[in-house]
Amino acid sequence: MKAKVLLVQNGPATTDTEKNVEENLALVAEATKDYSPDFVLFSELSNTQYFCGFNSPEHFKLAEPIDGPSVKRFQELAKQLNSYVLFPFYEKGEVKGEFYNSVAVIGRDGELIPGDLPDGRQVRVYRKNHIPDQWSYSPGLNERYYFKEGPGLATFNTEYGKISILICYERSFPEAWRVLALQGSKIMFVPVAAWGPNRADSWGGELRTAAIQNGLFVVASNKGGVEHTEGPRHFFGASRIISPLGEELAAAPAGEGPHILKAELDLDEIEKHGVRYTFFRDRRPELYRTLSDDIARGVL
């Protein structure tokens, strides 16, 4: 089975959410004139600027509920294209004062696909679980002011098997990749809004390593170009699509946006990975229990 992917490397956004949505839809319309994707992915917080740099209550006004106008526009897109659409957005939660960095997974019929957590619970959308607060470079970021943590790592069922999502910072947590791979995920979608030289230097190697170690496809869309909020922020772009065997199937330019990537994923490579690399056969879970046991680690 093969799946066609369309990746949108978002460019700098404006303060006008509706305008950002329309520009993204125009990019997809142009890219699909002669191409019929099975999956469409956008960059992190694709309908807003990346506003996490200082504490301003004004930015909370950008958040929309799951049934808000932006999600509805991309539900229409999914039906129009007959594609799965992964739409990253700033979510206003059902409970007052709760906001999330989220991705709606939309089926070919335009309906939201629920995600399954390892403990059996379901979620309506994926919500970022690892929330950074980072000031080692400038401009820094303060996502913990704007986002509540999600409830867990989810897989979403499609006709191509299970898919999963890790948002931006979450790509650096190998435990999250392995949990989702063990749940049967075949494709990891990684929407990102990243800048900074250290993160740019580690970007490609980090994704390739995760693909090989976990035996899944990686579809990673990072914003590209300069965006102005509290100051200029240059997102390094360089979006990537990588196979389970570590092959780079498509790559976008660094530092530029917007840009479109297309690739066909041969899902048979997942089985080939299990023969070439016997990581899952040779795992020793009993040796890793201290990862979740603070007493055994000597922390408590």
**Catalytic residue list:** 44, 128, 168
How many Å apart are CA 297 and CA 269, to the nearest integer? 37
Residues 6 or more apart whose CB falls under 8 angstroms from that of 224 comprise: 9, 10, 11, 235, 236, 237, 238, 239, 252, 253, 254, 255, 256, 257, 258, 259
| Residue 111 CB neighbours (<10 A) | 11
Cβ pair 99, 60 in contact under 8 A: yes
- Answer for the pair 150, 126: CB distance below 8 angstroms, yes or no: yes
Give the span between the Cα atoms of 177 and 172, in whole angstroms.
9
- Hey, is 84 helix, strand or coil? strand
| Bridge partners (DSSP) listed for residue 84 | 39
240 Cβ contact partners less than 8 Å away, ≥ 6 residues apart:
203, 204, 207, 218, 220, 248, 250, 251, 252
Using left for φ > 0, alpha for ψ between -120 and 50, and beta otherwise, residue 5 falls in: beta
